[in-house]
Structure 1
Amino acid sequence: MALRNLFLFLLIGFISVSCSKSEQGDDAAVVTSSQGEGIKIQTWQSSKGAKVMFVQAPQLPMIDIRLVFNAGSARDKAQLGIAQLTNTMLSQSAGQWSTDEIAERFEEVGANFSTSALRDMAIISLRSLTDEKLLAQAIATFKVVVSQPAFKLDEIKRQKAQQLIAIQNQLQSPGSIASKAFYAAIFKGHPYAQPTMGIKEIVSAISTENLKEFYKRYYVANNLTIAIVGNVDQKQAHALVEEITADLASGKAAEKLAELAMPEKAQQIHKEYAATQTHILVGQPGMKRGDDDYYSLYVGNHILGGSGFGSRIMQEIREKRGLAYSSYSYFAPMLAEGPFIMGLQTRNENTQQALEILDKLLRDFIEQGPTAEELSHSKKNITGGFPLRVDSNKDITEYLAVIGFYNLPLDYLSTFNDKVNAVTAEMIKDAFKRRIYPDKLITVTVGKANKK
């Protein structure tokens, strides 16, 4: 209990690190460092081929480690749901230890372990104190979990049953119904179109051998990015990486995802659902990570619908007309073009009015761009809040994983505010005109149709 309390206390710390020039790591690992002011990111390739992203943060006696494999649901192919199930099984028995024994080993040293899977990524995370004995046990357990999953039949059946329950619950949720229909429509024919949890019939048929094959193909060092932030130096981080990946196969990186095609025409999809409110999603494929238009679209969307009560969508939909409690827009950049989404929930009888307002807001914004006042306020809001997004080890680890996985520049964090401030109204208007097509948007509504 004392260890747990100490661990929780340490979570509130801040980090501030300086920059240095490139250097040579141990075992001839070439270490490249970010330059300029701000957070110093060091990167190198492990002996097995994993990409490593490291920030030394000596202020607290703790370490965050995030393993990101290119093994999300976009790799499911015909076996929908297998990426999710494989990732979940990595929290079960491994090596000589049962699921309970693994949990106890992490608990004994105050370490936190978790897994998750998205469309692009499969994630395995560890947070531990850096006391030598405590860290040694946490890393030894983590290594076995990552490299020696047991895939026991009884545990597969149990986890599969839980995934099937989650799938069934999604069928009862109007928000999930809308999201599935939206992704299926805007990404038609692409791996992103499929539900991340899979579908009942296919998940039920996934075998032990299927899981082992998926793990063998995608959970390999050359398909892995490792992000580390904590109270260790580069030499220690290098040693930890080599230990964690020692029993992983080198393997090959996942194949590049297919290119996305924009919808050829607008489409309206309605799913009937007995409720007083209708869930609305409107959008199209948006942009990739590292997109040349990223900052223009990001700042522009902040004004359009990404800044809460300060955005045009919120002002028009909620503040002026009271049509919805929450209304928004956002870009979700991914390996391929992730979605651009505008969304809200409104009473069934207000659905058409809300859709007409969204359409007009978007068309006006594309045609006119932001005002000088909106742009100035948005930049101050974004740049002023950015330090709070990187104020803990956990936050930095998440950013490192994204930077490494998506091959973003090492100076991404240190130059973020400068690039935001460099955006002009003309850049926003130009980017939205080239990238967003009001006449080809996909509209999904889930609710009770308003029959006149």
Structure 2
Amino acid sequence: MKNLVLVLLLFLGVQMNASTPKDAIKFYDIKNVKIPVVYEQSNLLPTGFVQLVFIGGGNVNDGNKIGLSKIASSILNEGTKELGVTKFADLLEQKAINLNVRTGLETLNFELDYLKDEQNTAINLMSDLLKSPNLTENALKKVRTQITSALLNKQNDFDYIASVNLSSLLFKNTPLANPALGTIKSIQNISLDDVKKYLKENLTLKRLIIILGGDMDIDKTLALLKPVLSTLEVGEKAQTHHYEANDKSQEKTIYKDTQQAYIYFGSPFSLNDLKTEAYKAKVMSFILGSSGFGSRLMEEIRVKRGLAYSAYLRIATSNIANYTTGYLQTKIENQKESIELVKKVVDDFIKNGATQEELDSAKSFLLGSEPLRNETLSQRLYTKFFNFYLGLPLDFEKIQLNQIKNLTLDELNSYIKSHTEIKNLTFSIVTQKSQKDKK
């Protein structure tokens, strides 16, 4: 029963667009706070989806308590204080209700999905969790142990090491430089009082965005949520953040007992306006390194020279940071050549731009595949939420597709050539010492 809802969604997901859903955004008043509600009604499946998103609860706000948001969200998955994790999980299981709490860069999310007939039970259980989470020393100790164990396992995860080190170089002296899981030392130093303070600060009405979807009456569902949401404090809006990636080329190498070189790299990317630039950045990213086979990076590194099984580079755009990030894995003896080739590919791309053939190929793929990314109800809801959160129109994907369709080669190449900053690449490498170095 546990995954019944997810199975149904996967089975019929490709048919979601066959319905004629009503979708919009509205504002729901609780304690004179206008809470944004992103929603979509669809009666194709007898299921419901509720998500409470608290802006400010992500790890970018951990401060000097690195890993605090991870600890707090993990404790919230330990059931209520009255029932504990096992009995609470059993109640969810019996009704095929899925309730999960997770944290992202900037958000703390309560995610609930259920069969339509179990809506009252599902919302009541989520309400119980919000009102009385299992904030006990035993739960904290269990969560600390789990995260510490995960961090110990990461000590031999060379992709993780290279990735974390890249972030520490690109975003030095900012929260983005910190690992989301925290460190073994920081995790041990987080107390139950720290968790309570974090929840008190973040579980507030002014930080809340509600996402609703499925076969439900939106107003009735909000009415069911109102009693528990009314117990939350009004609070203060979360502080907004924006960080710039380091524009100086750097390199950090960690030596491990490995047969491969793990090479992660990134650079700053200047973007002034998502609404008018995001589509150009998407096409630029696709051609340079995010499209797999056919991208410049993959063509030069794997197809022509066989230096790596895969090579990837994408442009990440958001309110919090804009930058490029990529990786490849290669033989130890090919490490230096691969790094120099990445630099050359990026340099040539900025200097000469894309070809008409590359632009046509990018348009064909993006215009054909992008609609598939919003087939299912959950995909569409997440897309609308992120568009709202970024200050974009809810149907921004449709706008962007039209922008891509009308993009000319001259416009694209002018944009590419203006972004010389991405040549300032920083490299994070995990490799093995050469025999000479060992001696």
Task: Give TM-score scaled by structure 2 length.
Answer: 0.91
Deviation at 1:273, TM superposition (A): 1.4
Deviation at 1:302, TM superposition (A): 0.5
For the residue of structure 1 that corresponds to 2:429, the secondary structure is: strand
Residues 1:309 and 2:293 are matched in the alignment = yes
Residues 1:265 and 2:248 are matched in the alignment = yes
Tell me the distance in 1 between the aligned counterparts of 2:11 and 2:254: 44
Deviation at 1:212, TM superposition (A): 0.2
Other-structure match for 1:31: none
Map 1:14-413 onto structure 2 (within 5 A).
14-16=15-17, 40-47=23-30, 48-70=33-55, 71-94=57-80, 96-131=82-117, 134-243=118-227, 245-257=229-241, 259-286=242-269, 290=274, 292-413=276-397
Conserved 8 A contact 1:51-1:225: yes
**Structure 1, residues 308-364: CA drift from partner, whole Å, max 9, x if none?**
112111111111111111111112333321431121100111011111111111111
Deviating more after overlay: 145-154 vs 374-383: 145-154
**Structure 1, residues 90-112: CA drift from partner, whole Å, max 9, x if none?**
11132533212221221121111
For the residue of structure 2 that corresponds to 1:309, the secondary structure is: coil
For the residue of structure 2 that corresponds to 1:282, the secondary structure is: strand
Other-structure match for 2:413: 429
Conserved 8 A contact 1:225-1:405: no
Other-structure match for 2:11: 12
Tell me the distance in 1 between the aligned counterparts of 2:258 and 2:177: 26
Q: 1:382 to 1:158 in 2, by over 3 A?
A: same
Deviation at 1:253, TM superposition (A): 1.5
Deviation at 1:243, TM superposition (A): 4.5
Deviating more after overlay: 63-72 vs 434-443: 434-443
Task: Give TM-score scaled by structure 1 length.
Answer: 0.88
Deviating more after overlay: 228-237 vs 362-371: 228-237
Conserved 8 A contact 2:264-2:328: yes
Deviation at 1:6, TM superposition (A): 6.8
Counterpart code for 1:58: N
Conserved 8 A contact 1:226-1:401: no
Deviating more after overlay: 421-430 vs 77-86: 421-430
Deviation at 1:49, TM superposition (A): 4.2
User: For this pair of structures, how many residues does the alignment match?
Assistant: 429
Counterpart code for 2:253: H
Deviation at 1:217, TM superposition (A): 0.7
Tell me the distance in 2 between the aligned counterparts of 1:155 and 1:274: 36
Conserved 8 A contact 1:64-1:393: no
Deviation at 1:58, TM superposition (A): 1.5
Deviation at 1:278, TM superposition (A): 0.8
**Structure 1, residues 255-297: CA drift from partner, whole Å, max 9, x if none?**
122x434424211111111111111111123367936421111
Conserved 8 A contact 2:66-2:180: yes
**Runs ≥4 residues deviating over 6 A:** none
**Structure 1, residues 367-423: CA drift from partner, whole Å, max 9, x if none?**
222111111111110111122211112222322332233332222133231122233
For the residue of structure 1 that corresponds to 2:243, the secondary structure is: coil
**Structure 1, residues 14-59: CA drift from partner, whole Å, max 9, x if none?**
3236587xxxxxxxxxxxxxxxxxxx33232442443211011121
Other-structure match for 2:425: 441
RMSD: 2.3
Conserved 8 A contact 1:105-1:138: no
Q: Which runs of 5+ in 1 are unaligned?
A: 21-39
Tell me the distance in 2 between the aligned counterparts of 1:49 and 1:97: 33
Q: 1:390 to 1:261 in 2, by over 3 A?
A: closer
Counterpart code for 2:304: K
Conserved 8 A contact 2:247-2:268: no
For the residue of structure 2 that corresponds to 1:293, the secondary structure is: helix
Counterpart code for 1:266: S
Conserved 8 A contact 2:21-2:42: no
Tell me the distance in 2 between the aligned counterparts of 1:6 and 1:389: 20
Conserved 8 A contact 2:343-2:425: no
Conserved 8 A contact 2:154-2:160: yes
**Structure 1, residues 131-153: CA drift from partner, whole Å, max 9, x if none?**
1xx11101110122234323111
Counterpart code for 2:107: M
Q: Percent identity?
A: 25
Tell me the distance in 1 between the aligned counterparts of 2:212 and 2:147: 30
Tell me the distance in 1 between the aligned counterparts of 2:222 and 2:398: 24
Tell me the distance in 2 between the aligned counterparts of 1:339 and 1:147: 39
Tell me the distance in 1 between the aligned counterparts of 2:317 and 2:304: 31
For the residue of structure 2 that corresponds to 1:437, the secondary structure is: helix
